[in-house]
Chain A
């Protein structure tokens, strides 16, 4: 742990962008929180929040596979590999649930652990190989926001743009399809297209978030800001905005804590900040449950 004076000094350095890379770190962490907050809200409302956990864990074999094949850390193969295995895991879960008696929660657990196990095995092979020294399994597992590259921030910015544009333009169909899938189908909303679009975007977002949040805990950035935002709001657009804000703040605070305390990964720090916000929201709602109902009555 740093002393108080060190902590103050490092905090000033962090927020005044005392190193060149800190601008990318902060931007990346904020974008991760924003994207995960918005997409996480939609997954949360469709009771798919845990799918984020499976997608995150299932990104690992894709990352390892891309390392093994290309032999170095290039952005495009990593993203393609990780998105491919994450989506494959999502499809596996759907397929198992549809054709067998295995329940969805069990199918999710099977796919999550199997893909993560495969990723861990591939990483062991990788670290035994000559090029493996730089691969940094720990950073992939738990995130290292400070090491984010401008290319990765660019990718996050692109995903954020697509996400915000999609949610703004398709707000009503998304709202109806999430709230009342039957009514949406009857109203002619292409619910299947929206569903798979959301899944694909979520997989991509989770993969792009892995550098900052890590594969193990990225689900925390999907679920927790959304759950906190749901406690604090009563309409969908407010929930989306609140989740984006809570996510972004948690992301930046997590990156700051990680910078403050060398050796602390950014993923756990981000997730703890989000959990703290959730705790506050939880306490607020406990104190005045259904206040709105009473006020209106």
Chain B
């Protein structure tokens, strides 16, 4: 069996002494889409950031494809939360998508024809080719999210990490993103997605990771998405019932 796309062991993170994540351990098998679910403040974004080395954990070991992060650089793609992007920055859609290729250019390299073609193909696949010369603030929320997905596609990474990709996005874009993710998965890619929408979780994700400071459950969606596991993870903050096949039916978030 090939090395797991992501392997995290004993990860603990604190902000100003307050523990945010405690002893988080899990592995992601390649070729699956995993959703991270959990209440607000559960440390979902923190987990992604720690995995990417953007903040320093107190303890823990993180390996991508069996290697330390620095050696797996080109294989990991991060799609930031939309609110974390400076939409007023003077770049066009085409500029942003081409940035997906910068990692392989080195410090002084210039994009080749191949790089530009990859960016074009990614824009075409996301249906944003006709928006190529727009400045990014002139886009709808869905178009902005497609732009960053096209960048991830142009980069061609094997593991895609996304932070709340469906926030502020129209229903059509959400379906398009999910369809694309399923397509990428079928081509062997892996995705780890922070999401807070429980209604769609089972349909969108192959596996679920229930997180609230620590891992409450991790496994195939059908096994994890149960009233017991969800109640445990969310505490009393969730009204859940058992559905016909034993799956949870969420009444109120």
Contacts and interface: CB of A to CB of B under 8 A. Distances in A.
Contacts of B107: 170, 173, 189-190
Interface string B59-95: 0000000000000010011101000111011111001
A170 B80 contact: no
Contacts of B111: 172
B124 interface: no
A137 B90 CA distance: 40
Nearest to B161: A186
Nearest to B94: A235
A296 B52 CA distance: 37
Interface in A192-233: 230, 233
Interface in B39-60: 52-54
Contacts, number: 81
Given A170-B108, A233-B90, A293-B134, A183 B95 contact: no
B73 A186 contact: yes
A292 B135 contact: yes
Interface string A237-248: 011000000000
A170 B85 CA distance: 22
B138 interface: yes
Nearest to B111: A172
A235 B88 CA distance: 11
B201 interface: no
Contacts of B26: none
A189 B138 contact: no
A233 B95 CA distance: 14
Contact of B85 (A176, A180, A186): A180
B102 A235 contact: no
Please classify how large the interface on chain B is, using the bins under 10, 10 to 19, 20 to 34, 35 or more: 20 to 34
B89 A45 contact: yes
A233 B73 CA distance: 33
Nearest to B110: A172
Given A186-B52, A292-B138, A239 B102 contact: no
A288 interface: no
Given A45-B89, A172-B105, A176-B99, A186 B134 contact: no
B103 interface: yes
Contacts of B80: 180, 182-183
Nearest to A185: B54
Nearest to A47: B86
B135 A176 contact: no
B102 A187 contact: yes
B107 to A, nearest CB: 6
Nearest to B155: A187
Contacts of B73: 186-188
Nearest to A294: B138
A239 B88 CA distance: 13
Contact of B91 (A188, A190, A235, A293): A235
Interface in A238-280: 238-239
A15 interface: no
Contacts of A287: none
Interface string B198-216: 0000000000000000000
B227 to A, nearest CB: 37
A180 B79 CA distance: 11
Contacts of A233: 90
B10 to A, nearest CB: 23
A85 interface: no
Interface string B158-201: 00000000000000000000000000000000000000000000
Contacts of B52: 182, 186
A296 B91 contact: no
A1 interface: no
Interface string B130-147: 010111001000000000
B20 to A, nearest CB: 18
Given A184-B102, A189-B102, 20 more contacts: A169-B108, A172-B102, A172-B109, A173-B102, A180-B85, A182-B54, A182-B78, A182-B80, A183-B80, A185-B54, A186-B76, A186-B77, A186-B103, A188-B73, A230-B90, A234-B92, A238-B90, A239-B90, A293-B138, A296-B134
16 contacts: A169-B108, A172-B105, A172-B111, A173-B107, A180-B80, A183-B80, A185-B54, A187-B73, A187-B103, A188-B73, A190-B107, A230-B88, A236-B90, A236-B91, A239-B90, A296-B133
